[in-house]
Structure 1
Amino acid sequence: MIKYPTAFHITDIPIVPIIFCCFLQFSAIPLAAQNDLAQTGQAVASSALEGNEAARAIDGKRETLWASGKDDEEPWLMVRLPGATELTRIQVIFGQELAPPQNFHLQYLLNGEWRNIKTVRDNGSHAADILLEKELLTDRIRLASGESQSMQVAVFGLFGQPYEDTSAMETKAVLVNQSGYNLHRTKRFTAPEIPDHTGFEIRQKNRQEVLYRGKVVEEKGDFTDFNPRSDKEYVIRVGDEESFPFRIGPYWLERVTYRLMLDFMIGARHYVGNVEEIRPLSFEWRDGDFFNWALQSFVALYLANPGAFERMEVTAPYRDNATFPETYKGLWGALEPYIEETPDIVRLIHWDADVKVSQRLDHEMQKAELAHFLYAWPYLKRWLPQQNFNRVYEYAREVWEKSTVSEHANSKYDQSPEHNLLALKTRLGTTKGEMPPGFSVIPNLMMYKVAQRENEADAHKYFQAAYRQMEWMIANLDWHDPMTTKGQRMSEHLTMRAFAYFHSQFPDQAPAGLVEKVTGWAGVALSRSDNMWDFRKYDDDDWVPPGWNETGNVLGFPAAALAAMSVLGDGDIKDKLEILVWSHMENAFGRNPTGRQFSYKGPEEVEGVDLGWYSRHKGGIGLLEELPFVFDGSPKSFHYPNHPGAGNLGWTEGWVQFNTAFNTSMAYLANYYTEISLEKKNTGQLTIRLKAPLNFHEDQTDSLAMNIRNMLGDSITVVLKEENPFSDTLTATVKIEDGGIKAEGQVLPLGKGGSIEASYGYGYFRKTATIVVE
């Protein structure tokens, strides 16, 4: 049962004007020949006596009723309709065995909160008939008691017209990732209401030749093994129906998003982005609050695929705090500037840490993020002054165990009982996404490594805190409760990433039951994903967290799934999770009930996108609408399983937290598929191969300068180049002769043991290959 009151709030502000007609006696309300929409819905209640379940209130029979449990002090009855409906009238008949409630609320769900349609006080009647002055568009209505007493409801009637947005465009019958698919990865589409075993064909756009054939099964098709080496556009045809065109490339998703990911975050910087206003609920990023997870998303991206970000054009200027008005003094500038050649992604890392330290942000989630900066320092220090590390480390050590939060560093969304990061965290946040389970695990494990690096005598306290937290999670998290998973919205990925990080970095010290717990998570995720969209649902009944713009959860779920896959051994579960990784990316790019990519400006910004989100939110706390690559919206509960006619319904607004969730997924995606190998040839040569998201453009020759090392730590640089325009691999071949490796005028002695090592990525995302060549 969904316990909505734990996640939502009641407000006494009437949102929709109504005419409250009258209270009538039980016998005065005729039910015959009325179109009661409640009878098409599902009823859920806070509690129920045996034989008096919630469904009894919507069966159209006066003689049956719902009765709340005897110990239920805040009884409520909720009806969920099959889709968004325009209600004009609500009817309630209370049971005759109890006095009717004197005070009660009629409410509807909007953006995750129960809003009052009407609050009734000093009631003395068993019946109410309420006419709405303006149609109320919703798919959920709740009757909630306004006092501590049992409640009985014989009839909860809802009347009106099924809703359909007449401005909604007709969707395609074949729904694909409009931009494109990655070569050699899972590729699927959805064809709603197409019978099983109907054939589909793939053709080049505007050509008749059939290049691939398959069958639609359970309203979806799979063309994973269609891997053309071509720069052409393709379409899928099912009978006379045709999809939007799409491309297939070695790293297509990375190609169309990497630059845009950084451009969004550069512009979203607070004070110095494309808007210089000081905004509420904003610290480092406009509308970022304390749970934006931006710093760790940048660090993860850089560690996973440094070559891709180091080669990008630098576009983010340094803005000196001294050049701003007095009201901006001290908001940033505690960290000395970076050198001129610093990549944009490192500039963003620097910005985030600088604001945290400059403003002394001591909320537990703000200070926890600093561990990612400190952990990554060995890979950042070539761009940044040593003063940066010293200031951040000093501040982090000072406030890590501080149990209180400064007023200026907090916001209305704070749910933390206290802020000591060594303390056990047992409280779950709401569907706002502000307090995911296990958010302190990775920061404490990183601080453990940093403290060891700095020869701190108390380093082990960080490990002990992470270990206790992981033990608690293994013992107490119930994956069947959506508040431990999708209910954490765009922050869900932090939980499973904590499991994966402990498993990969401390495999011999991890608590017992870690792998089994991850396996359980995967099982629940898969059980909720067997549908036409390959979409992981909120629970067995709801597709998405009720009422929310859940965009960030769709974008962040691949990071959670990939983290789980890194823990699981090869097998069927892992293979099925991989399908979900790509189906959620496909969902964000048009394979969803609306047929739209999540960005309003998608068609003009994202290569290959044909149809963007319906609208964008202008204004808001973040003032983000003019930025590139804003994820404005995603399908709501009433769009699923397939109701495109609902149209532009539900809240639409971009949020920094949505983009940082996507950033994190892209980091885990890069790492998961990165491979490096060394192969000795009989001809006295050594071949180095690297699979990583680096070959984006078929009309350019992509390359990477990589260091190879001997066991003494000596190294030389070797340039790897793409094998062909559509290859996912970069290679180089060097000579083995005279007791060394020779490449481009350099010589690397083989040294003791004759071993050579090559690696790509940094820190916890480092991939390594070693070979003995003598």
Structure 2
Amino acid sequence: MKNKILLFCLLTLSHCLPNIVSGQQAKVTSPPIVNQAGYNLDEAKRFVCYGAPNGTAFEVLPVGSPGKAPFKGKIVDFAGDFTAFNPEAVTGEFIIRVPGFGDSKPFWIADHLMEKLSSQLAYQFFIDVRGSEDPVYSDEQHVAGGGPSRDGGAYTLEAVYETLLYASNPALFDRWHEDFDDAAVPDLIKLILWHAEFAYQHRDYNGPTAHRPYDIGHPDQQLQRYDYQNTLDQLAAVCAAYHSFLKPYLDEAKYQRYRQACLQHWEAYERDRVVRYWVKSQKWIDVGWQEFNEMGNVFGQAVFRNLFMYLCEKNEADGQPEKFLAYAREAAQDIIQNWDFNNPRHMWWIRNGEHITPQALAFFLMVAPESAPYGIREKLAAWTEHMKAKTNNFWQYRKHSDTEWAHPKTKELGNTGLGGSMFAVAHLLDDPQLRALGWSQVNQVFGLNPAQAHYSNKSQERLDLNGYWAGIETGWPDAHPNGAGKLGLVRGTLDGTPLDNMFPYNPEPDKDEVISYYATEGWAVTNRAWMSSVVFSTLGSHQLRVLNKDGQEVNEVVTGDVVTIELKAALNQNWNAAEEGWVLIQSGQEAPQPIKVTETGPNTGIFTAKYTPDLPPKTVVRISYGYLGFEKVKEFTIK
């Protein structure tokens, strides 16, 4: 995989042409621009130095340690690649030095660095942005959009992506209990259950809300004030998770109430199908009824919700799994047939909803590959080629067209979910090129962009809340702390992105004509898009192995022999201590049981446990980590 990623990065650099003649000196130049936090070990790593001629040398240097550079390279089309540089267990920072252009900001290179810095903030945002602390009596008329999140409705789909977040790396989220101060229940689980109860209590709510720039309903219907239909999408995710990991925390009677709410209203609420022309927006960017809208109906929601119900119903004696699987297949076939990459209303114009479409198709292949309709892989492969073409520039930024990089008037924070889509699809198609492009989307969030700023404003208020990313020197230059979402005191908020007039590199655009990177305001649905990148990042990096005493992988084990269970996962939060996690072990038909794994040393990112089976021959032992399609599984047979 490492060699594939390195080859792709070199090929990309040789073919990505900027909007000026390749190799010529630009009138405006930049220092080396990097991901300010840093880069994951064994993943793609690159920087941009605008104006540097082809062949310009660069060095990667430890901060404060003069001497021989541990890595050197050449710039091609304003970009440098150092994917091959993977210093093990180093806690110090590095810089990029380009003679004549200066030094970059310092950055780390570390095991699962992005996940280390972002996983907790990803859900803490959704703790802080809740319109109330009570999911039942939530004071909707004083909450913009009605909630559960301020300036959002049920369409924010909090429970859907929180459920996937936990499923992707459960042992990590089991560590954190401080926000809700409940030693028995992890914070993320408490948050999922809070959103589930809100969804249940609002499953038919159509009362007043504070400001909202839209109405709900088809053109020939009486319009609604709240998108209560989307509460079932959230309940469906929780019902699926009940059978995977929520059973210890969710009372069965309450779960059955959630399930029955879905079963009773599913078809009446159009949850069985793709919903079109359902949101009447007053926003200038999407005024009126559009086919799909981020504020209520996104291409792909129907696949997710019906797959969740399928996973739920498979476990019920009176379940109807085939009905929901058929609905999911029909919705996926709709996407295969009608998803038009050249229609902006299906792509970047949906903004914060765009990430859902490819992720939904990917989820089908993750949880029910044998039942997926023909054409899903082919559609995702076509999307991959489209994205490779649109990111064929030195920023590896997804451009709108040959003449427009980004929107000229409004931020595009929905792009923060593009990395998640690329990670999911790259995993399924075994495409390291696409995975590398996914990391470029993450890099943009962390400052590798024309503004040279992280997309989140680094306010003192957020720092005081411990609600900001470590390692970021320059945050977004403005914020809108008292807007509809009241995000000033919300941890992990994203605020703005470069507009079109900042590209290809124009850090000081004409602010009188277009308020460029001050086009700023965070939004809950934006942070959901970003959460999806955290969710799907681990698909290509988690590994699970079973090793014999000689360190060789085994598929058969003699009863009584000692084997080593080895997990590589994004659990490395403390570089100065050996940490712990767990995996599930299942022998034959017995229920799975957790077994503790311990890091082999500080900052190794490898977690192991010794296991001695005492089982009859032919017993199959199953080791797993993760849920809902994110499982890493290793099986061996007793002989």
- Normalized against structure 1, the TM-score is what? 0.67
8 Å Cα contact 2:585/2:624 also seen in 1: yes
8 Å Cα contact 1:674/1:767 also seen in 2: yes
Match of 1:756 among 621, 627, 636: 621
Which letter maps to 1:512?
Answer: Y
Percent identity over the alignment is 28
Encode CA deviations 1:152-206: one digit per residue, 9 max, x unaligned: xxxxxxxxxxxxxxxxxx9951100111111111111111111111000011113
8 Å Cα contact 1:192/1:642 also seen in 2: yes
Whole-angstrom distance in 2 between the partners of 1:276 and 1:234: 49
Q: Counterpart in 2 of 1:464? A: 326
- In structure 2, do the counterparts of structure 1 residues 457 and 710 end up closer, same or farther at CA, with 3 Å as the change threshold? closer
Whole-angstrom distance in 1 between the partners of 2:369 and 2:490: 42
Q: Counterpart in 1 of 2:73? A: 214
8 Å Cα contact 1:433/1:488 also seen in 2: no
Match of 1:559 among 414, 420, 424: 420
Q: Does 1:262 align with 2:117?
A: no
- In structure 2, do the counterparts of structure 1 residues 634 and 413 end up closer, same or farther at CA, with 3 Å as the change threshold? farther
8 Å Cα contact 2:455/2:476 also seen in 1: yes
Point out the more displaced range, 434-443 or 198-207.
434-443
Encode CA deviations 1:542-589: one digit per residue, 9 max, x unaligned: 2224532111x2210112112212331x3xxx1221111111111001
Match of 1:300 among 160, 164, 178: 164
- In structure 2, do the counterparts of structure 1 residues 614 and 470 end up closer, same or farther at CA, with 3 Å as the change threshold? same
- In structure 2, do the counterparts of structure 1 residues 525 and 602 end up closer, same or farther at CA, with 3 Å as the change threshold? farther
Which letter maps to 2:519?
Answer: W
Point out the more displaced range, 709-718 or 303-312.
709-718
Q: Counterpart in 2 of 1:678? A: 546
Q: Counterpart in 2 of 1:499? A: 361
8 Å Cα contact 2:40/2:110 also seen in 1: yes
- In structure 2, do the counterparts of structure 1 residues 510 and 218 end up closer, same or farther at CA, with 3 Å as the change threshold? same
Q: Counterpart in 1 of 2:597? A: 720
Q: Does 1:521 align with 2:383?
A: yes
For this pair of structures, how many residues does the alignment match? 551
- In structure 2, do the counterparts of structure 1 residues 755 and 257 end up closer, same or farther at CA, with 3 Å as the change threshold? same
8 Å Cα contact 1:486/1:545 also seen in 2: no
Match of 2:42 among 184, 190, 202: 184
Q: Does 1:354 align with 2:354?
A: no
Whole-angstrom distance in 1 between the partners of 2:177 and 2:128: 15
Q: Counterpart in 2 of 1:576? A: 433
Whole-angstrom distance in 1 between the partners of 2:544 and 2:473: 36
Q: Does 1:238 align with 2:86?
A: no
Whole-angstrom distance in 1 between the partners of 2:584 and 2:425: 31
8 Å Cα contact 1:559/1:664 also seen in 2: yes
Match of 1:669 among 537, 544, 548: 537
Whole-angstrom distance in 1 between the partners of 2:404 and 2:573: 38
Point out the more displaced range, 625-634 or 339-348.
339-348
Q: Does 1:659 align with 2:527?
A: yes
Whole-angstrom distance in 2 between the partners of 1:617 and 1:519: 39
Whole-angstrom distance in 2 between the partners of 1:506 and 1:413: 29
1:326-475 alignment, distance < 5 Å: 341-361=184-204, 363-378=228-243, 379-403=245-269, 414-415=279-280, 428-430=291-293, 432=294, 434-456=296-318, 458-475=320-337
Whole-angstrom distance in 2 between the partners of 1:434 and 1:193: 43
Q: Give how far 1:482 is off.
A: 2.7
Which letter maps to 2:55?
Answer: H
8 Å Cα contact 2:202/2:228 also seen in 1: no
- In terms of Rg, which structure is larger? 1
Whole-angstrom distance in 1 between the partners of 2:638 and 2:270: 57
Q: Give how far 1:358 is off.
A: 1.1
Whole-angstrom distance in 2 between the partners of 1:313 and 1:395: 30
1:152-191 alignment, distance < 5 Å: 173-191=31-49
Q: Give how far 1:602 is off.
A: 6.7
- In structure 2, do the counterparts of structure 1 residues 434 and 489 end up closer, same or farther at CA, with 3 Å as the change threshold? farther
Whole-angstrom distance in 2 between the partners of 1:549 and 1:575: 29
8 Å Cα contact 1:415/1:435 also seen in 2: no
Whole-angstrom distance in 1 between the partners of 2:193 and 2:360: 24
Encode CA deviations 1:447-489: one digit per residue, 9 max, x unaligned: 1232232233644222222212211221222212232222221
Whole-angstrom distance in 2 between the partners of 1:429 and 1:763: 27
Whole-angstrom distance in 2 between the partners of 1:404 and 1:706: 39
Whole-angstrom distance in 2 between the partners of 1:427 and 1:458: 33
Q: Does 1:284 align with 2:148?
A: yes
Whole-angstrom distance in 2 between the partners of 1:288 and 1:435: 13
8 Å Cα contact 1:231/1:247 also seen in 2: yes
Q: Give how far 1:314 is off.
A: 2.8
Q: Counterpart in 2 of 1:738? A: none
Q: Does 1:733 align with 2:610?
A: yes
8 Å Cα contact 2:168/2:626 also seen in 1: yes
Which letter maps to 2:328?
Answer: A
Whole-angstrom distance in 2 between the partners of 1:598 and 1:308: 25
Q: Give how far 1:535 is off.
A: 1.2
Secondary structure of 2:449's aligned partner: coil
Whole-angstrom distance in 2 between the partners of 1:304 and 1:715: 18
Q: Does 1:613 align with 2:476?
A: yes
Unaligned runs of 5+ in 2: 1-18, 20-27, 205-226, 272-276, 282-288, 552-560
- In structure 2, do the counterparts of structure 1 residues 398 and 427 end up closer, same or farther at CA, with 3 Å as the change threshold? farther
Q: Counterpart in 2 of 1:622? A: 485
Which letter maps to 2:628?
Answer: G
Secondary structure of 1:720's aligned partner: strand
8 Å Cα contact 2:585/2:595 also seen in 1: yes
Q: Counterpart in 2 of 1:767? A: 632
Secondary structure of 1:707's aligned partner: strand
Q: Give how far 1:287 is off.
A: 1.0
Q: Give how far 1:387 is off.
A: 2.8
Q: Give how far 1:760 is off.
A: 0.3
Point out the more displaced range, 714-723 or 284-293.
714-723
Secondary structure of 1:560's aligned partner: helix
Whole-angstrom distance in 2 between the partners of 1:366 and 1:655: 19
Q: Counterpart in 2 of 1:272? A: 133
8 Å Cα contact 2:61/2:70 also seen in 1: yes
Q: Does 1:692 align with 2:569?
A: yes
1:644-655 alignment, distance < 5 Å: 644-646=507-509, 649=516, 650-655=518-523
Q: Does 1:227 align with 2:227?
A: no
8 Å Cα contact 1:270/1:285 also seen in 2: yes
Q: Which has the higher contact order (CA 8 A, sep 6+)?
A: 2
8 Å Cα contact 1:174/1:189 also seen in 2: yes
8 Å Cα contact 1:699/1:725 also seen in 2: yes
8 Å Cα contact 1:202/1:213 also seen in 2: yes
8 Å Cα contact 2:154/2:199 also seen in 1: no
8 Å Cα contact 1:482/1:539 also seen in 2: no
For the aligned residue pairs, the C-alpha RMSD in angstroms reads: 2.6
Point out the more displaced range, 713-722 or 649-658.
713-722
Match of 2:57 among 199, 202, 217: 199
Q: Give how far 1:428 is off.
A: 2.9
Whole-angstrom distance in 2 between the partners of 1:251 and 1:397: 40
Encode CA deviations 1:582-637: one digit per residue, 9 max, x unaligned: 11111001100000001112794221100010111031111111222110111112
- Normalized against structure 2, the TM-score is what? 0.81
Q: Give how far 1:340 is off.
A: 5.8
8 Å Cα contact 1:487/1:538 also seen in 2: no
Point out the more displaced range, 508-517 or 585-594.
508-517
Whole-angstrom distance in 1 between the partners of 2:549 and 2:496: 53
Whole-angstrom distance in 2 between the partners of 1:714 and 1:344: 25
Q: Counterpart in 2 of 1:17? A: none
Point out the more displaced range, 725-734 or 202-211.
725-734
Unaligned runs of 5+ in 1: 1-81, 83-169, 318-338, 406-411, 417-425, 736-740, 742-748
8 Å Cα contact 1:172/1:595 also seen in 2: no
